[in-house]
A and B are shown apart, each in its own frame.
Chain A
C-alpha cells in the first residue's frame, strides 16, 4: 500500500475547489456565528442561491455570466432580508429554525417538477461557466507531481478562488478591527447591553447576515463553476454542517479559522477516504471487514471521532483563543 499516494490525495483535496467552497461558506458562518452570535443553519441555502443565480441566468435565460453572478449576489441579499426581517428581533433560536427550514424548502422547490423549466429540476443545469474558462491563461496540461496534480481548468479556478478567499479574509479582518466589528462582538456577548449603549442591534445583525450570506453564496458559485453543473441535492443541510465543522476545526471567531478549518476538513476527509480505499485494495483491510462501498460512511465516522478528540484536547479549535473560551464557563 502506497502511503505516499494517500498524502498526495489529501494534499490535492486540501487546495481543490471544494476546499475553497467550504472556506467561503465557513468565512460567512464565522461572521454570523463567530462574531455576531447569529445561528445560521441554512448556509447551504445561500450557496444554492449563489449557484443557481448564476446557472439560471446563463443556462435558462441565456444571459451573460457577469449578469449571472450579479443575480446570484442579489438573490443572496434578498434571501437574507426575507430570513432576517421577521426573525432578527426575536431570540437567537428563531433564526436557526427559519434558516434550516428555508434552505431545505429552497432545495426541494428547485428540484420539483414544476420549477424544472427554470431550474432543470432534479437534473439541474449545466455549462454556464464557459466564459470563465475561456479566460483561462494557463496552457493545457496537468500541473503538480504524481497524484497531487490539477488540470489547467481546476488550477485556473483555484487561482481565482483562493484569491477570492484571500480577499474575503482581508475584508473580514478589516471590518473586525474597526468599531463596526466591535459592535458585532458586543451583540454576540450581550445584545441588550449593546442596545442600552445606543447601538442599533437589529441593523447590525442584518448587515452581518447579508454579508455572511453573500460570502456563502460565493462559495456556491465556486462549487457550480467547478463542476459546470448545478444540482439541488448538492446543497443538502449536511453541507451547512460541514461548513460548521470546518469553522470549529479552525477556530470560531478567528479571522483565519475558517480557512484553515476548511483545509483541515478536506485533508482529513480525503486522507481517510484514500487510506481506506487503498488499504482495502491492497488487502491490508480484508474486504469482509470493510467493503469499498462503505468507505464513504466510515470516513465520516472517523472525522466525527477526530472532531470529538479535538473538542476534548483543543476545544477552541486549531486557532481559537483558549482564554476566551474559558470565560464562557464563568
Chain B
C-alpha cells in the first residue's frame, strides 16, 4: 500500500545514523540522559543516553520485566527516577507533573487499560480534549461559554471513534467494552489530546488481527501527520512492519538500537530473548540469527487483555 510507505524525506533522516546504543539523531524530540530507577535492590531502568527521532515511529521491545513500562512511567511523570534528566522538545521534564507532561504534548497510554468505566465512550473521548473552557469552574456555570467548543470536540471525537470502529458504541458505558475495545478506546482517547508524541504501551495486545492491521495503518497515518510515536510491542512482525527505528531493552538497560532490519540479527537482542547459552545449543544457534526472534508466542500476548485490574 503506497500510503503506508513513510515519506522518503522523513525516514531518510535516519539514513546516516549508525545502529549503536545512544547514537545521536538529527533533531531528536526526546533526549534521555542517565535515567535510573530502582525498586529496592532491583534496577528496573538504567538508560545512559537515548534520543528518539522526531516524526517517526520507534518500537520499544524487550523481554517481560525489561523495564519498558517503568520507562514510560518515568518519562511521563507517573514515576520519579532516582537520578537522571530528560527533555522533550529541548525543555527539561524532570520534576514536571504528569498532567503537565501531557499538556506539553507527550501523551501515554497504559498497558493495563484505564477506561473510565462509568463514563460513556463519547464522554471518555470528549474528556481528553485540551484547553476546554468549560473545565474552569466559573465558565462551567455558563454553558454559552463552552457549548460551541463542546460541539467541535464532539465532532472530532466521533471522527476518531469511527476510525477505531467504536462509533456504534458511542453511548455505551466504557465499562461494557471488551478488553480489545478498551485498548482501542484508550488509543483514540490519547489522540483526542492532539499530542506531538504518543507513547503506546502494547496497544495491540488483545486486539484481533484484522483490527491490528487497521490500527497499524492508523499509526502510520499519525506519522504522516507529523506525530512521533513510541510504542511497546511484543509481536515482532508488527514491530518490523511499522517501526522506523527499534530500541531493545533488557534488565533495565538499552542493549541495542537501530533500524528494524539490524535488530533481528543483533546478537545482544537474541541473547536477551533466548538466554545467553544459545550459542551452546546447536538447535537454536545457527538459525536464530538469520531471522527476527519471535520472543512471545501469540497465546501469551493474549493474556495482556484479561489483566483488568479492577
B-facing residues in A166-199 (Cβ within 8 Å): 171, 174-175, 178-183, 185-186, 188-190, 192-199
A-facing residues in B127-148 (Cβ within 8 Å): 127-128, 130, 132-137, 140-141, 143, 146
Nearest to B123 among chain A residues (CB) is A182
B134 and A327 contact, CB distance less than 8 A:
no
- Closest-CB distance, A184 to chain B (whole angstroms): 10
A-facing residues in B74-100 (Cβ within 8 Å): 76, 78, 97-100
Number of interchain pairs (Cβ within 8 Å): 115
- Closest-CB distance, B221 to chain A (whole angstroms): 21
- With A179-B150, A186-B127: A192-B117 Cβ-Cβ less than 8 Å: no
Give how many A residues have a beta carbon under 8 Å from the other chain's beta carbons.
Answer: 30
- Closest-CB distance, A253 to chain B (whole angstroms): 8
A180 and B137 contact, CB distance less than 8 A:
yes
B176 and A327 contact, CB distance less than 8 A:
yes
Give the docked Cα–Cα distance between A181 and B143 (Å). Answer: 12
B98 and A195 contact, CB distance less than 8 A:
yes
B146 and A327 contact, CB distance less than 8 A:
no
Give how many B residues have a beta carbon under 8 Å from the other chain's beta carbons.
Answer: 43
Give the docked Cα–Cα distance between A119 and B143 (Å). Answer: 43
Give the docked Cα–Cα distance between A198 and B137 (Å). Answer: 17
Residues of B within 8 A of A185 (CB): 116, 118-119, 123
Instruction: Produce 1/0 per residue, A101-136, CB < 8 A to B.
Output: 000000000000000000000000000000000000
- Closest-CB distance, A314 to chain B (whole angstroms): 18
- With A189-B118, A197-B128: A330-B136 Cβ-Cβ less than 8 Å: no
Interface of A is mostly: helix
Partner of B135, one of A180, A193, A328: A180
- With A179-B132, A189-B118, A327-B117: A174-B76 Cβ-Cβ less than 8 Å: no
Nearest to A330 among chain B residues (CB) is B175
Nearest to A195 among chain B residues (CB) is B98
Nearest to B135 among chain A residues (CB) is A179
B141 and A195 contact, CB distance less than 8 A:
no
Residues of A within 8 A of B308 (CB): 330
* Residue A280 is within 8 A (CB to CB) of chain B in the complex: no
Apart from A180-B136, A185-B123, A197-B128, 19 more pairs, CB < 8 Å:
A174-B140, A179-B133, A180-B135, A180-B137, A180-B140, A182-B123, A182-B126, A182-B135, A185-B116, A188-B118, A190-B114, A194-B116, A195-B102, A196-B76, A196-B98, A197-B189, A197-B193, A324-B118, A330-B308
Q: 3 closest pairs, A vs B, by CB? A: A179-B134, A327-B175, A180-B140
